[in-house]
Amino acid sequence: MDDRTTTEKKILNSAQDVDNFLNELDYPISKDEIINLAQARGFDPNFISQLNGIPDEEYTDSTDLSDTIGDVDFS
């Protein structure tokens, strides 16, 4: 577990960060669980917003979730 405080956490926002995150999740996983974990990991608010827009369902694997999220734009 990460010992750093919230203010010390690096904002994660690269495509590689997102890919690593999706591959590390324990599937199946719900939308709410994904959002909570992404927030805890310090992801960019744009990514969190994009996650809020995905369907409220259970995702079976990283490919299923990645296809739903689409390309993440952090610009």
pLDDT in tens, 11-24: 566 888 888 999 99
Question: What is the overall mean pLDDT for the chain?
Answer: 82
Residue 35 has pLDDT above 90, yes or no: yes
Prediction pTM value:
0.76
Report phi then psi at 63, rounded to 5. Answer: -65, -45
How many CA atoms are closer than 13 Å to the CA of 61, on its beta-carbon side?
1
Q: How high is the pLDDT of residue 52?
A: 92
Distance of alpha carbon 73 from the chain centroid: 13
